[in-house]
Amino acid sequence: MNRRRRVYEGKAKILYEGPEPGTLVQHFKDDATAFNNKKHDKIEGKGVLNNRISEYLFQKLGEIGVPTHFIKRLNMREQLIREVEIIPLEVVIRNVAAGSLSTRLGVDEGTMLPRSIVEFYYKSDELNDPLVTEEHITAFGWATPPELETVMSLALRINDFLSGLFLGVGIRLVDFKCEFGRLWEGEQMRIVLADEISPDCCRLWDIETQDKLDKDRFRRDMGGLVEAYQEVARRLGLHVDNPTRTRSGPVLVQSK
């Protein structure tokens, strides 16, 4: 079906060459992976929901002046983005203790953190995305000190905005991961938000019930992943009719 040039295939997405130079098509797959691909499954409908949720969040962030790679959604699974030079860091912002922070530092899951904490992980599957400090990042040249400063302040702005947005629909933004890239416009370079922000890379807990509405349902074998992502979309006011539908066109009606 796809005759476009595939630029990269990752665990959750495929990047294709876009229609114009400097653009890419980001395709959201249904694959779910955890623990650096040790756990892997296909969850029908996940890609469609992530595409829609990420589109919405990037659009809203754009509206408050956060520069992003997002151009427009193309169809149920694909969006047009600007190609950037990815800074090889996973930037994690935490508001409540959970996951690796709880395990590593012995802080009970669910403990409110005294302030938002930003962490950096070096993007390397071979090394299992290790936690790194600003010293490592600048010494090894993954980002310059001013770039890192921009990344930090953007990450905190994104966190403030998304925390409020989710709170408004009864969801606690416990933590999330984001990626940034360098966008060149002639001689000028801007740091922009790239990749995706979706329940795959956030921890989202229902304010009332503490129910998990994110990928921890997959990591922890809880089931109900698509239903949870659908609930997030529903609360954000997004109508994703039938995320498991793969093709548009006539639907076969059985006659009896």
Ligand X SMILES: Nc1ncnc2c1ncn2[C@@H]1O[C@H](COP(=O)(O)OP(=O)(O)OP(=O)(O)O)[C@@H](O)[C@H]1O
Give the residues lining the site for ligand X (CB under 6 A).
8, 10-13, 15, 24, 69, 81-84, 86, 123, 125, 179, 181, 194-195
Spatial neighbors of 100 by CB under 8 A, at least 6 apart, are none
Residue with the closest Cβ to ligand X?
10
Nearer to ligand X, 157 or 182 (CB): 182
Report the C-alpha gap between 140 and 130 in whole angstroms: 14
Question: Shortest Cβ distance from residue 178 to ligand X (Å)?
Answer: 10
Nearer to ligand X, 123 or 235 (CB): 123
Task: Specify the DSSP class assigned to residue 254.
Answer: P
Question: Shortest Cβ distance from residue 4 to ligand X (Å)?
Answer: 15
Three-state DSSP string of 6-38? EEEECCCEEEEECCCCCEEEEEECCEEEECCCC
Question: Shortest Cβ distance from residue 115 to ligand X (Å)?
Answer: 28
Question: Shortest Cβ distance from residue 256 to ligand X (Å)?
Answer: 43
Nearer to ligand X, 57 or 84 (CB): 84
Residue of 112, 117, 75 whose CA lies nearest to 93: 117
Nearer to ligand X, 195 or 231 (CB): 195
Q: Would you say 64 and 54 are in contact if contact means Cβ atoms under 8 Å apart?
A: no
Question: Shortest Cβ distance from residue 83 to ligand X (Å)?
Answer: 5
Residue of 59, 57, 4 whose CA lies nearest to 26: 4
Nearer to ligand X, 100 or 210 (CB): 100
Question: Shortest Cβ distance from residue 181 to ligand X (Å)?
Answer: 5
| Helix, strand, coil % over all residues of the chain, rounded to 5 | 25, 35, 40
Report the C-alpha gap between 239 and 64 in whole angstroms: 23
Nearer to ligand X, 81 or 101 (CB): 81
Q: Would you say 29 and 227 are in contact if contact means Cβ atoms under 8 Å apart?
A: no
Positive or negative: CA dihedral 29, 209, 234, 112:
negative
